């Protein structure tokens, strides 16, 4: 799946504009990068289309431990979306990434996050 298709799908599922969906997708990846090991970030970068792979740049040298509420707060702060838009949008992004055919990489990345993060991925 190409980046533009990911943005369109996120926009449709989250009821956002294409630009908001693109910003949100990048913010989710950037924030996820703060929670993942460097090895997992490398794996995800290899599987994501350009320019999304560039969004996975860890801002810290160590894994930053924070929960779901802080995750959503950081994304809301990065995007300017309200709490409901952020929650719905993050669910859309994670679900689209799961479905984007990136192999087991998504599951490996999710396994590094607390179990409460799994509630964001839609079960279809």
Task: Provide the residue range defining the domain that includes 66.
Answer: 3-120
Inter-residue contact 91 to 124 (CB < 8 Å) = no
Q: Print pLDDT tens along the chain (124 aa).
A: 899 999 999 999 999 999 999 999 999 999 988 888 888 888 888 888 888 888 887 655 667 788 999 999 999 999 999 999 999 999 999 999 888 866 688 888 888 888 888 888 865 5
Inter-residue contact 11 to 90 (CB < 8 Å) = no
| pTM of the predicted model as reported, rounded to 2 decimal places | 0.89
CA 82 to chain centre: 17
Range 52-84 burial, b when 16+ CB lie within 10 A, else e = bbebbebeeeeeeeeebeebbebbbebbebeee
Asked if the bond preceding 68 is cis, omega within 30° of 0, the reply is: no
Residue 37 and residue 18: Cα distance in Å, rounded?
30
Number of domains comprising the chain: 1
Maximal CA-CA distance, the chain = 36
Residue 45 sits in a domain of what CATH number?
1.10.490.110
Predicted local distance difference test score (pLDDT) of residue 36: 87
Predicted local distance difference test score (pLDDT) of residue 29: 93
CA 120 to chain centre: 10
């Amino acid at each position: 799946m190409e980046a533009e298709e990911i943005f369109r799908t996120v926009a449709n599922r989250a009821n956002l504009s294409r630009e908001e969906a693109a910003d949100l997708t990048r913010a989710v990846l950037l924030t996820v990068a703060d929670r993942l090991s460097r090895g997992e970030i490398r794996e995800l970068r290899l599987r994501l289309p350009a320019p999304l792979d560039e969004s996975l740049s860890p801002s810290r040298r160590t894994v930053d431990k924070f929960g779901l509420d802080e995750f959503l707060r950081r994304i809301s702060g990065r995007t300017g979306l309200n709490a409901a838009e952020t929650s719905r949008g993050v669910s859309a992004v994670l679900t689209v990434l799961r479905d984007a055919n990136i192999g087991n990489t998504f599951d490996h990345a999710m396994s590094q996050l607390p179990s409460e993060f799994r509630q964001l991925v839609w079960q279809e």
